[in-house]
Structure 1
């Protein structure tokens, strides 16, 4: 059974990192997080192709036996796909496996895709650090005509290309290209390395291959 939206997330804690991520280029609602692992997941999720919204603790579900479960995030995509994500250290996944399996079964019966994200995916090969850079530059401000001019020039280049190559070809600062990645006017692959940058429209089918949400989020 799906119940009301989960509890208010952010409360002061001496034991964990809590706070909000503002992402006005995507949505008005801030993204709440209750741990450093959730913060780093949310930064990666904000870069996922096709994402149209992300909500923290979107609802509560009642599991067989009466236990209640609140997932960490709901991600909605332009393809109408809705992904529910549990962010949890791997050692606690094993500890709570039975409850998570029950939640997965119930959520899938309601049409959701269910993913568990651990440090093994989030921190793999420094993805979290690269996501942090892109989101930081996403908050930079550029005049609309500067952005439009850069995108027109970038469209004329052979895609995909590396960060330095695109910046040099267009004659714009690297920081502007990083900004365009952060606000998803440009797209990087699941590793988040800035060596194969392309336009979202260049991806023939975002639901297949490396760019489908499940593959992309889990790298």
Structure 2
């Protein structure tokens, strides 16, 4: 579900310290039934597992296939246009301790690179000739006492061309990509996150039980 941008800015996230020159494009929330305060790493792992094992809907695959074809044709995604080429990685702005939290040992097959991961928030980034974008994930308690995942898309377009590109893809994001992402991420929690959480609870219960 799309939510107001203040839902991101009002939280005391570490990401605010490093993204003053980025603008907030979108903020969305994703349901995680039965989730607890310590389940953010479980959710992140579930998202990575789902990305590597489940196909996106056909419409989303088609849109991204067109995007990658255009990128290849016009050179939008070359190393020179990406992180360490056209722009520096956001990790270069972090203190060493925070940069060290990136889980490089467990990469995901998506095109984003990890910036950092804490107990309740994480950031991943992507850069090309059109934009430098950051996907921020945060774990937030809801009014009913549960927890939900929030995703904020932060962007720094590359000049006029980048701003026009972001405006052109906005309808596709809102009508196709984000609704599909919502279904996929909420399903990831049900299929991978909640079972893992329950298995961990059971294992801890067995460990604590007397012989």
TM-score by length of 1: 0.26
Which structure has the highest strand share of the two?
2
- Choose between structure 1 and 2: higher helix proportion: 2
* Length-normalised TM-score, structure 2: 0.27
Higher relative contact order (CA 8 A, sep 6+): 2
